[in-house]
Amino acid sequence: MPNPTPKTNSYDVVIIGGAIMGSSTAWFLTELDDFNGSVLVVERDASYEKCSTAHTNSCIRQQFSNRLNIEISQFAADFIVNLRDHIGDDRVPDITIQSYGYMYLANHERFAETLRENQKIQLDAGAETELLTPEDIKVRYPFYMVDDIVLGSINRKNEGYWDGGTVFDWWRRSAQARGVEYIDNEVVAITKNANGTRVDSVTLASGDVISCGQVVNASGPRGARTAAMAGIELPVEPRKRFTWIFSAEQPLDQELPLTIDPSGVHFRQDGPKTYLAGCPADPDPAVDFDDFAMDFDRWENHVWPIIATRIPQFEAIRVVTEWAGHYAYNTFDHNAIVGPHDQVKNFIFLNGFSGHGLQQSPAMGRGAAEWLTFGAFRSLDLSPFGYDRLVRNEPIIEKAII
Protein backbone atom coordinates (compact mmCIF):
# COMPACT_ATOMS: atom_id res chain seq x y z
CA MET A 1 0.00 0.00 0.00
CA PRO A 2 1.25 3.54 -0.71
CA ASN A 3 2.30 5.68 2.22
CA PRO A 4 -0.52 8.01 3.37
CA THR A 5 1.91 10.87 4.03
CA PRO A 6 3.23 13.01 1.16
CA LYS A 7 6.99 13.49 1.00
CA THR A 8 6.69 17.26 0.82
CA ASN A 9 4.05 19.97 1.15
CA SER A 10 4.19 21.38 -2.39
CA TYR A 11 3.76 19.81 -5.85
CA ASP A 12 3.50 21.16 -9.35
CA VAL A 13 0.56 18.86 -10.15
CA VAL A 14 -1.83 17.19 -7.71
CA ILE A 15 -4.05 14.52 -9.29
CA ILE A 16 -7.15 13.68 -7.27
CA GLY A 17 -7.91 10.05 -8.05
CA GLY A 18 -5.41 7.36 -8.96
CA ALA A 19 -7.53 4.98 -11.03
CA ILE A 20 -7.22 4.74 -14.80
CA MET A 21 -7.71 8.43 -15.66
CA GLY A 22 -5.41 9.70 -12.94
CA SER A 23 -2.75 7.11 -13.67
CA SER A 24 -2.96 7.71 -17.42
CA THR A 25 -2.41 11.43 -16.87
CA ALA A 26 0.46 10.80 -14.45
CA TRP A 27 2.18 8.43 -16.86
CA PHE A 28 1.80 10.67 -19.90
CA LEU A 29 3.30 13.56 -17.91
CA THR A 30 6.42 11.43 -17.49
CA GLU A 31 6.52 10.93 -21.27
CA LEU A 32 6.78 14.65 -22.02
CA ASP A 33 10.34 15.98 -22.17
CA ASP A 34 9.01 19.49 -21.56
CA PHE A 35 7.50 18.51 -18.20
CA ASN A 36 9.95 18.31 -15.32
CA GLY A 37 7.67 19.06 -12.40
CA SER A 38 6.63 17.08 -9.34
CA VAL A 39 3.41 15.02 -9.39
CA LEU A 40 1.33 13.76 -6.45
CA VAL A 41 -1.52 11.30 -7.01
CA VAL A 42 -3.98 11.16 -4.10
CA GLU A 43 -6.08 7.99 -4.06
CA ARG A 44 -8.64 7.44 -1.31
CA ASP A 45 -8.73 3.63 -1.80
CA ALA A 46 -5.35 2.17 -2.67
CA SER A 47 -6.96 -1.25 -3.17
CA TYR A 48 -9.04 0.23 -6.04
CA GLU A 49 -11.75 -2.30 -5.14
CA LYS A 50 -14.69 0.08 -5.55
CA CYS A 51 -13.54 2.37 -8.35
CA SER A 52 -15.19 2.33 -11.77
CA THR A 53 -11.96 0.96 -13.29
CA ALA A 54 -12.30 -2.20 -11.20
CA HIS A 55 -15.91 -2.79 -12.26
CA THR A 56 -15.63 -2.06 -15.95
CA ASN A 57 -16.60 -4.46 -18.73
CA SER A 58 -13.41 -3.36 -20.53
CA CYS A 59 -14.53 -2.89 -24.11
CA ILE A 60 -13.63 -0.53 -26.92
CA ARG A 61 -15.54 0.58 -29.99
CA GLN A 62 -15.31 2.93 -32.94
CA GLN A 63 -19.04 3.02 -33.57
CA PHE A 64 -19.71 6.55 -32.36
CA SER A 65 -21.60 9.32 -34.11
CA ASN A 66 -19.03 11.98 -33.15
CA ARG A 67 -15.78 11.88 -35.13
CA LEU A 68 -13.70 13.02 -32.17
CA ASN A 69 -14.99 10.10 -30.07
CA ILE A 70 -13.97 7.77 -32.91
CA GLU A 71 -10.48 9.25 -33.10
CA ILE A 72 -10.13 8.95 -29.32
CA SER A 73 -10.87 5.22 -29.59
CA GLN A 74 -8.50 4.80 -32.52
CA PHE A 75 -5.62 6.21 -30.50
CA ALA A 76 -6.57 3.90 -27.64
CA ALA A 77 -6.55 0.88 -29.96
CA ASP A 78 -3.06 1.71 -31.19
CA PHE A 79 -1.85 2.26 -27.63
CA ILE A 80 -3.33 -1.01 -26.40
CA VAL A 81 -1.82 -3.27 -29.07
CA ASN A 82 1.57 -1.54 -28.78
CA LEU A 83 1.58 -1.29 -24.99
CA ARG A 84 5.01 -2.84 -24.51
CA ASP A 85 6.65 -0.38 -26.89
CA HIS A 86 4.86 2.57 -25.28
CA ILE A 87 5.78 1.59 -21.72
CA GLY A 88 9.30 0.60 -22.77
CA ASP A 89 9.53 -2.46 -20.53
CA ASP A 90 10.06 -6.01 -21.83
CA ARG A 91 8.06 -7.37 -18.89
CA VAL A 92 4.86 -5.85 -20.27
CA PRO A 93 2.69 -8.66 -21.67
CA ASP A 94 1.38 -8.67 -25.21
CA ILE A 95 -2.17 -7.31 -25.33
CA THR A 96 -4.64 -7.67 -28.15
CA ILE A 97 -8.17 -6.51 -28.81
CA GLN A 98 -10.62 -9.36 -29.14
CA SER A 99 -12.38 -7.82 -32.12
CA TYR A 100 -15.72 -9.57 -32.26
CA GLY A 101 -17.27 -6.13 -32.80
CA TYR A 102 -20.34 -4.38 -31.47
CA MET A 103 -23.62 -5.44 -33.09
CA TYR A 104 -26.19 -2.63 -32.93
CA LEU A 105 -29.69 -3.89 -33.68
CA ALA A 106 -32.35 -1.46 -34.90
CA ASN A 107 -35.99 -2.51 -34.58
CA HIS A 108 -37.47 0.57 -36.22
CA GLU A 109 -36.65 2.75 -39.21
CA ARG A 110 -35.74 5.85 -37.17
CA PHE A 111 -32.88 4.06 -35.42
CA ALA A 112 -31.91 2.33 -38.66
CA GLU A 113 -31.47 5.76 -40.27
CA THR A 114 -29.29 6.80 -37.31
CA LEU A 115 -27.08 3.75 -37.95
CA ARG A 116 -26.80 4.74 -41.61
CA GLU A 117 -25.82 8.29 -40.70
CA ASN A 118 -23.32 7.04 -38.13
CA GLN A 119 -21.72 4.65 -40.61
CA LYS A 120 -20.88 7.51 -42.98
CA ILE A 121 -19.02 9.33 -40.19
CA GLN A 122 -17.30 6.14 -39.06
CA LEU A 123 -16.13 5.14 -42.56
CA ASP A 124 -14.85 8.65 -43.18
CA ALA A 125 -12.81 8.38 -39.97
CA GLY A 126 -11.29 5.05 -41.04
CA ALA A 127 -13.53 2.55 -39.26
CA GLU A 128 -14.83 -0.50 -41.12
CA THR A 129 -18.47 -0.43 -40.07
CA GLU A 130 -20.85 -2.61 -42.06
CA LEU A 131 -24.62 -2.33 -42.28
CA LEU A 132 -26.41 -5.67 -42.29
CA THR A 133 -29.94 -6.53 -43.30
CA PRO A 134 -31.77 -9.08 -41.15
CA GLU A 135 -30.94 -11.66 -43.82
CA ASP A 136 -27.24 -10.70 -43.69
CA ILE A 137 -27.25 -11.02 -39.92
CA LYS A 138 -28.86 -14.44 -40.08
CA VAL A 139 -26.24 -15.69 -42.54
CA ARG A 140 -23.30 -14.55 -40.42
CA TYR A 141 -24.84 -15.14 -37.00
CA PRO A 142 -27.59 -17.75 -37.39
CA PHE A 143 -28.22 -17.90 -33.64
CA TYR A 144 -29.95 -14.46 -33.56
CA MET A 145 -33.71 -14.06 -33.73
CA VAL A 146 -34.14 -11.12 -36.12
CA ASP A 147 -37.87 -11.13 -36.94
CA ASP A 148 -38.26 -7.67 -35.37
CA ILE A 149 -34.98 -6.22 -36.70
CA VAL A 150 -34.79 -3.65 -39.50
CA LEU A 151 -31.00 -3.20 -39.68
CA GLY A 152 -27.78 -4.14 -37.92
CA SER A 153 -24.43 -2.37 -37.69
CA ILE A 154 -21.09 -3.98 -36.86
CA ASN A 155 -17.40 -3.07 -37.01
CA ARG A 156 -14.76 -5.75 -36.42
CA LYS A 157 -11.70 -3.53 -36.62
CA ASN A 158 -10.31 -2.81 -33.13
CA GLU A 159 -13.73 -3.21 -31.53
CA GLY A 160 -14.40 -5.60 -28.68
CA TYR A 161 -12.73 -6.67 -25.43
CA TRP A 162 -9.29 -5.68 -24.13
CA ASP A 163 -7.47 -6.07 -20.83
CA GLY A 164 -7.92 -2.66 -19.26
CA GLY A 165 -6.66 -3.87 -15.90
CA THR A 166 -3.22 -4.63 -17.29
CA VAL A 167 -2.92 -1.23 -18.97
CA PHE A 168 -3.95 0.49 -15.72
CA ASP A 169 -1.49 -1.56 -13.69
CA TRP A 170 1.43 -0.70 -15.97
CA TRP A 171 0.58 2.98 -16.14
CA ARG A 172 0.57 3.15 -12.36
CA ARG A 173 3.67 0.99 -11.94
CA SER A 174 5.65 2.84 -14.62
CA ALA A 175 4.60 6.28 -13.39
CA GLN A 176 5.81 5.47 -9.88
CA ALA A 177 9.09 4.09 -11.23
CA ARG A 178 9.56 7.38 -13.06
CA GLY A 179 9.08 9.45 -9.92
CA VAL A 180 5.35 10.07 -9.61
CA GLU A 181 4.32 9.89 -5.96
CA TYR A 182 1.14 8.01 -4.99
CA ILE A 183 -0.37 8.32 -1.52
CA ASP A 184 -3.24 6.49 0.19
CA ASN A 185 -5.17 9.53 1.38
CA GLU A 186 -8.16 11.70 0.47
CA VAL A 187 -8.63 15.32 -0.53
CA VAL A 188 -11.25 16.81 1.80
CA ALA A 189 -10.92 20.53 1.02
CA ILE A 190 -9.64 22.84 -1.70
CA THR A 191 -8.49 26.40 -1.04
CA LYS A 192 -8.43 29.08 -3.74
CA ASN A 193 -6.67 32.42 -3.89
CA ALA A 194 -8.36 35.64 -2.77
CA ASN A 195 -10.04 36.41 -6.10
CA GLY A 196 -11.01 32.79 -6.71
CA THR A 197 -9.13 32.36 -9.98
CA ARG A 198 -6.67 29.67 -8.88
CA VAL A 199 -6.41 26.75 -6.52
CA ASP A 200 -3.69 27.40 -3.97
CA SER A 201 -3.79 24.18 -1.96
CA VAL A 202 -5.61 20.97 -1.13
CA THR A 203 -6.20 19.62 2.36
CA LEU A 204 -5.93 15.89 2.98
CA ALA A 205 -7.93 13.74 5.40
CA SER A 206 -4.69 13.35 7.36
CA GLY A 207 -4.64 17.12 7.94
CA ASP A 208 -1.75 17.80 5.56
CA VAL A 209 -2.11 20.96 3.48
CA ILE A 210 -0.50 20.62 0.05
CA SER A 211 0.33 23.62 -2.12
CA CYS A 212 -0.17 22.91 -5.81
CA GLY A 213 0.52 24.51 -9.14
CA GLN A 214 -2.30 22.67 -10.90
CA VAL A 215 -5.04 20.27 -9.79
CA VAL A 216 -6.58 17.45 -11.85
CA ASN A 217 -10.04 16.19 -10.96
CA ALA A 218 -9.83 12.49 -11.87
CA SER A 219 -12.15 11.28 -9.12
CA GLY A 220 -14.63 9.36 -11.26
CA PRO A 221 -18.18 9.20 -9.86
CA ARG A 222 -17.04 11.51 -7.05
CA GLY A 223 -16.07 14.20 -9.56
CA ALA A 224 -18.88 16.58 -8.61
CA ARG A 225 -17.97 16.37 -4.94
CA THR A 226 -14.35 17.21 -5.74
CA ALA A 227 -15.41 20.13 -7.94
CA ALA A 228 -17.73 21.44 -5.23
CA MET A 229 -14.74 21.78 -2.89
CA ALA A 230 -13.47 24.41 -5.35
CA GLY A 231 -16.90 26.05 -5.59
CA ILE A 232 -17.50 24.58 -9.04
CA GLU A 233 -20.66 22.89 -10.26
CA LEU A 234 -20.16 19.68 -12.25
CA PRO A 235 -23.10 17.66 -13.65
CA VAL A 236 -21.62 14.25 -12.86
CA GLU A 237 -23.19 11.64 -10.61
CA PRO A 238 -22.78 7.91 -9.86
CA ARG A 239 -25.24 5.73 -11.79
CA LYS A 240 -25.41 2.02 -11.09
CA ARG A 241 -24.69 -0.51 -13.85
CA PHE A 242 -25.19 -4.27 -13.43
CA THR A 243 -23.04 -7.01 -14.95
CA TRP A 244 -23.58 -10.76 -15.08
CA ILE A 245 -21.27 -13.51 -16.28
CA PHE A 246 -23.22 -16.55 -17.40
CA SER A 247 -22.65 -19.95 -18.96
CA ALA A 248 -24.94 -21.63 -21.46
CA GLU A 249 -26.10 -25.24 -21.55
CA GLN A 250 -25.62 -25.01 -25.32
CA PRO A 251 -22.72 -22.63 -26.03
CA LEU A 252 -22.56 -20.94 -29.42
CA ASP A 253 -20.18 -22.37 -31.99
CA GLN A 254 -18.83 -18.90 -32.88
CA GLU A 255 -17.96 -15.68 -31.06
CA LEU A 256 -20.85 -13.55 -29.85
CA PRO A 257 -20.42 -9.85 -30.75
CA LEU A 258 -21.22 -7.29 -28.12
CA THR A 259 -24.88 -7.16 -28.96
CA ILE A 260 -26.81 -3.99 -28.17
CA ASP A 261 -30.40 -5.18 -28.08
CA PRO A 262 -33.13 -2.60 -28.79
CA SER A 263 -34.20 -3.06 -25.16
CA GLY A 264 -30.89 -1.57 -23.98
CA VAL A 265 -29.61 -4.88 -22.60
CA HIS A 266 -26.22 -5.80 -24.02
CA PHE A 267 -24.36 -9.11 -24.01
CA ARG A 268 -21.15 -10.52 -25.47
CA GLN A 269 -18.57 -13.25 -25.48
CA ASP A 270 -16.56 -13.34 -22.26
CA GLY A 271 -14.59 -16.59 -22.32
CA PRO A 272 -14.51 -19.74 -24.44
CA LYS A 273 -17.78 -20.91 -22.89
CA THR A 274 -18.99 -17.93 -20.87
CA TYR A 275 -20.77 -14.70 -21.74
CA LEU A 276 -21.28 -11.27 -20.21
CA ALA A 277 -24.49 -9.26 -19.97
CA GLY A 278 -25.12 -5.77 -18.67
CA CYS A 279 -27.81 -3.16 -18.23
CA PRO A 280 -28.69 -0.12 -16.11
CA ALA A 281 -31.07 0.01 -13.21
CA ASP A 282 -34.70 0.90 -13.86
CA PRO A 283 -35.40 3.54 -12.72
CA ASP A 284 -31.86 4.87 -13.01
CA PRO A 285 -31.28 7.47 -10.28
CA ALA A 286 -28.04 8.76 -8.85
CA VAL A 287 -26.88 6.41 -6.08
CA ASP A 288 -24.67 6.67 -3.03
CA PHE A 289 -20.96 6.37 -3.71
CA ASP A 290 -20.77 3.12 -1.74
CA ASP A 291 -23.98 1.54 -3.05
CA PHE A 292 -22.96 -1.55 -5.02
CA ALA A 293 -25.95 -3.72 -4.08
CA MET A 294 -27.29 -5.97 -6.82
CA ASP A 295 -30.91 -5.98 -7.95
CA PHE A 296 -31.40 -9.73 -8.17
CA ASP A 297 -34.81 -9.47 -9.80
CA ARG A 298 -33.31 -7.49 -12.66
CA TRP A 299 -31.74 -10.63 -14.13
CA GLU A 300 -34.65 -12.96 -13.67
CA ASN A 301 -37.42 -10.62 -14.76
CA HIS A 302 -35.70 -8.50 -17.39
CA VAL A 303 -32.25 -9.47 -18.65
CA TRP A 304 -32.52 -13.24 -19.03
CA PRO A 305 -35.89 -13.16 -20.88
CA ILE A 306 -34.47 -10.61 -23.36
CA ILE A 307 -31.33 -12.67 -23.98
CA ALA A 308 -33.33 -15.89 -24.41
CA THR A 309 -35.67 -14.18 -26.87
CA ARG A 310 -32.86 -12.71 -28.96
CA ILE A 311 -30.82 -15.94 -28.87
CA PRO A 312 -33.17 -18.91 -28.35
CA GLN A 313 -30.16 -21.16 -27.85
CA PHE A 314 -29.64 -19.30 -24.56
CA GLU A 315 -32.92 -20.46 -23.06
CA ALA A 316 -30.92 -22.51 -20.55
CA ILE A 317 -28.21 -20.32 -18.99
CA ARG A 318 -26.76 -20.00 -15.50
CA VAL A 319 -25.26 -16.98 -13.74
CA VAL A 320 -21.65 -17.64 -12.74
CA THR A 321 -20.93 -14.31 -11.05
CA GLU A 322 -22.39 -10.81 -10.93
CA TRP A 323 -21.52 -7.31 -9.77
CA ALA A 324 -22.62 -3.69 -9.78
CA GLY A 325 -20.39 -0.80 -10.78
CA HIS A 326 -20.81 2.93 -11.24
CA TYR A 327 -20.81 5.10 -14.33
CA ALA A 328 -19.45 8.62 -13.77
CA TYR A 329 -22.56 9.85 -15.53
CA ASN A 330 -22.56 13.28 -17.17
CA THR A 331 -26.19 14.36 -16.95
CA PHE A 332 -25.56 17.29 -19.33
CA ASP A 333 -24.70 15.35 -22.51
CA HIS A 334 -23.12 11.97 -21.55
CA ASN A 335 -19.72 13.01 -22.92
CA ALA A 336 -16.34 13.71 -21.36
CA ILE A 337 -15.51 16.98 -19.65
CA VAL A 338 -11.79 17.61 -20.04
CA GLY A 339 -9.50 20.61 -19.68
CA PRO A 340 -9.51 23.72 -17.49
CA HIS A 341 -12.35 25.47 -15.73
CA ASP A 342 -13.30 28.73 -17.39
CA GLN A 343 -12.56 30.82 -14.29
CA VAL A 344 -10.41 28.65 -11.99
CA LYS A 345 -7.73 28.20 -14.62
CA ASN A 346 -5.52 25.68 -12.83
CA PHE A 347 -8.40 23.30 -12.02
CA ILE A 348 -8.37 20.62 -14.75
CA PHE A 349 -11.30 18.29 -15.43
CA LEU A 350 -11.13 14.61 -16.39
CA ASN A 351 -14.74 13.76 -15.68
CA GLY A 352 -18.12 12.54 -16.85
CA PHE A 353 -17.14 9.71 -19.18
CA SER A 354 -20.50 8.00 -18.77
CA GLY A 355 -19.21 4.49 -19.39
CA HIS A 356 -16.64 5.37 -22.06
CA GLY A 357 -13.80 6.08 -19.64
CA LEU A 358 -11.67 2.99 -20.00
CA GLN A 359 -11.51 3.12 -23.79
CA GLN A 360 -10.93 6.88 -23.73
CA SER A 361 -8.26 6.85 -21.03
CA PRO A 362 -5.18 6.81 -23.30
CA ALA A 363 -6.24 9.86 -25.32
CA MET A 364 -7.67 11.69 -22.31
CA GLY A 365 -4.60 11.11 -20.15
CA ARG A 366 -2.34 12.27 -22.98
CA GLY A 367 -4.52 15.31 -23.58
CA ALA A 368 -4.59 16.28 -19.90
CA ALA A 369 -0.81 15.90 -19.69
CA GLU A 370 -0.41 18.16 -22.73
CA TRP A 371 -2.66 20.79 -21.22
CA LEU A 372 -0.80 20.68 -17.90
CA THR A 373 2.51 21.08 -19.72
CA PHE A 374 1.75 23.41 -22.64
CA GLY A 375 -1.60 24.98 -21.79
CA ALA A 376 -3.02 23.45 -24.98
CA PHE A 377 -3.94 20.11 -26.57
CA ARG A 378 -1.19 19.19 -29.03
CA SER A 379 -2.25 15.79 -30.34
CA LEU A 380 -6.01 15.38 -30.59
CA ASP A 381 -7.86 18.65 -30.09
CA LEU A 382 -10.09 17.80 -27.13
CA SER A 383 -11.31 21.37 -26.68
CA PRO A 384 -14.87 20.53 -27.89
CA PHE A 385 -15.18 18.55 -24.64
CA GLY A 386 -14.20 21.57 -22.53
CA TYR A 387 -16.12 22.82 -19.52
CA ASP A 388 -17.07 26.00 -21.35
CA ARG A 389 -19.70 24.14 -23.38
CA LEU A 390 -21.64 23.74 -20.11
CA VAL A 391 -21.44 27.47 -19.55
CA ARG A 392 -22.71 28.10 -23.10
CA ASN A 393 -25.38 25.40 -22.70
CA GLU A 394 -24.20 23.71 -25.89
CA PRO A 395 -24.27 19.93 -25.39
CA ILE A 396 -22.40 17.59 -27.70
CA ILE A 397 -24.91 15.12 -29.08
CA GLU A 398 -23.53 11.59 -29.22
CA LYS A 399 -26.15 9.28 -30.72
CA ALA A 400 -24.31 6.04 -29.91
CA ILE A 401 -24.78 5.81 -26.13
CA ILE A 402 -24.99 2.50 -24.28
316 and 174 co-located in one domain: no
Q: What is the pLDDT of residues 120-173, one digit of tens each?
A: 999 999 999 999 999 999 999 999 999 999 999 999 999 999 999 999 999 999
278 and 144 co-located in one domain: yes
- Judge whether 71 lies within some domain: no
Looking at residue 1, its pLDDT comes to 66
325 and 337 co-located in one domain: no
Q: What is the CATH number of the domain that holds 265?
A: 3.30.9.10
The domain of 353 spans: 10-58+164-235+332-392
CA within 13 Å, CB half, 253: 3
16 and 106 co-located in one domain: no
Looking at residue 400, its pLDDT comes to 85
The mean pLDDT of 191-208, rounded to a whole number, is: 98
Looking at residue 7, its pLDDT comes to 97
The model's pTM:
0.97
Please count the residues of the chain: 402
- Judge whether 88 lies within some domain: no
263 and 318 co-located in one domain: yes
Q: What is the CATH number of the domain that holds 23?
A: 3.50.50.60
Backbone angles phi, psi at 58, to 5 degrees: 55, 60
- Judge whether 286 lies within some domain: yes
288 and 242 co-located in one domain: yes
120: how many CB neighbours lie within 10 A of its CB?
A: 11
Q: What is the pLDDT of residues 66-84, one digit of tens each?
A: 999 999 999 999 999 999 9
197 and 227 co-located in one domain: yes
169 and 290 co-located in one domain: no
Q: What is the pLDDT of residues 232-243, one digit of tens each?
A: 999 999 999 999
249 and 294 co-located in one domain: yes
Residues 6 or more apart whose Cβ sits within 8 Å of residue 26: 15, 18, 39, 41, 171, 172, 175, 180, 365
Q: Round to whole Å and give the CA distance between 8 and 306.
A: 55
- Judge whether 377 lies within some domain: yes
Domain count, the chain: 2
Q: What percent of the chain has pLDDT over 70?
A: 100
264 and 148 co-located in one domain: yes
231 and 349 co-located in one domain: yes
State the average pLDDT for the chain: 97
- Judge whether 106 lies within some domain: yes
256 and 143 co-located in one domain: yes
Q: For residue 3, what pLDDT band results from cuts at 50, 70 and 90?
A: confident
- Is 274 a residue whose pLDDT tops 80? yes
Q: Which of 329, 352, 372 is a domain's end point?
A: 329
The mean pLDDT of 270-293, rounded to a whole number, is: 96
Q: What is the pLDDT of residues 7-64, one digit of tens each?
A: 999 999 999 999 999 999 999 999 999 999 999 999 999 999 999 999 999 999 999 9
